[in-house]
Structure 1
C-alpha cells in the first residue's frame, strides 16, 4: 500500500505533457499487443503510425531526457521501463503458447521494445541507495 501511495505521489509531480505522453504510449502498446495476439493485419497504414508513435514515445522516455531528478523523473522512467518489459514479455509468452505466426508485423515491434526496455533497466541497475546485482 505504501508503494502505491508513493507511485501516486510521483505521478502527481509529473507535468501534464509527461502524463499524456505516457498514457498515449501505453495505449499504443496495448493496441499493438492486442492486435498482434488477435492476428490482425488490417489497416497497415494505421498500424505503422501507431508503431512509430510507440517507438518515438518510449525512445524518448528511455533516452534519459530527465530534468532535475528531484521531481522523480528517473523513477518514472524505471517504472515505465519495467511495465513495458513485463507487458511485452507477457505478449511474447502468449504468442508462443498459442502458436501465432512469428512473421506478424506487431511481433517485431514487441520484441524490439522488450529489448529496449530490458537494456534500459540493466543500465539503471546502479542504484545508489539499495543493493543491486
Structure 2
C-alpha cells in the first residue's frame, strides 16, 4: 500500500504546477456540485453555473488529450487515474441520487451525469486506442493491454 502511495505522489509531482492547481480546482468544484445536489441549498444560480462551468472546462481539458496532444499533461496514467476516480464518484452520486429521490431536473445532476458519460467515454477510448504509453507509463507493470507495448 505504501508503494502505491509513493507512486501516486510521484505521479502527482510529475505534473506541472498549473495542472496540479487545475486538478484541485476541478475536484473542489465537483464536491461543491455534489453538495448542492443533496442539500438544495440557497446558493445563487449564477454562482452554481459558474462553478459547474469551471468544473466542466477543467475536466474537459484533462480528458481532451486523447484528441489533441498536450505537453502539460506529463503522462496518460494521470489522466486515467483522474478519469477513473471521477467516474466512480459520479456513478456513486447518481446511484445515491436515485435511491434518495432527489430532483432529477436539477441542472447539477445533469452535470454530474455528463461528467460520468465523459469519463466512461474517455476510459473506453483509452482501452481501445493504439496509443503507446509514454516512458513513465512503460516502466509500470500493468496487465491491461492498452498500457502494454505492442
TM over 0.5: yes
Give the Cα–Cα distance (whole angstroms) in 2 for the partners of residues 102 and 119 of structure 1. Answer: 22
Paired positions, count: 131
Aligned in 2, Cα 1:20/1:9: closer, same or farther, shift over 3 Å?
Answer: same
Q: CA deviation at 1:39?
A: 2.3
Q: CA deviation at 1:132?
A: 4.1
Match of 1:63 in 2: 64
Moved over 4 A (4+): 126-129
Q: Of the two structures, which has the highest relative contact order with CA contacts closer than 8 Å and spacing of 6 or more?
A: 1
3-state DSSP of counterpart to 1:124: helix
For the aligned residue pairs, the C-alpha RMSD in angstroms reads 2.0
1:16-31 pair list within 5 angstroms: 16-31=17-32
- Deviation digits for residues 70-107 of structure 1 (CA, Å, limit 9, x no counterpart): x4x21111100011111111111111111111111100
Match of 1:46 in 2: 47
For normalisation by structure 2, the TM-score amounts to 0.80
Q: Is the 8 A contact 2:16 2:72 kept in 1?
A: no
Give the Cα–Cα distance (whole angstroms) in 2 for the partners of residues 41 and 125 of structure 1. Answer: 41
Q: CA deviation at 1:9?
A: 0.7
Equivalent of residue 114 in structure 1, options 110, 113, 116: 116
Q: Is the 8 A contact 2:29 2:51 kept in 1?
A: yes
- Deviation digits for residues 9-63 of structure 1 (CA, Å, limit 9, x no counterpart): 1111111101000000000000001111112353100001001101100000000
Q: Is the 8 A contact 1:61 1:77 kept in 2?
A: yes
Equivalent of residue 78 in structure 1, options 68, 80, 95: 80
Q: Which has the larger radius of gyration?
A: 2
Q: Is the 8 A contact 1:37 1:91 kept in 2?
A: no
Structure 2 unaligned residues grouped into runs of 5+? 133-141
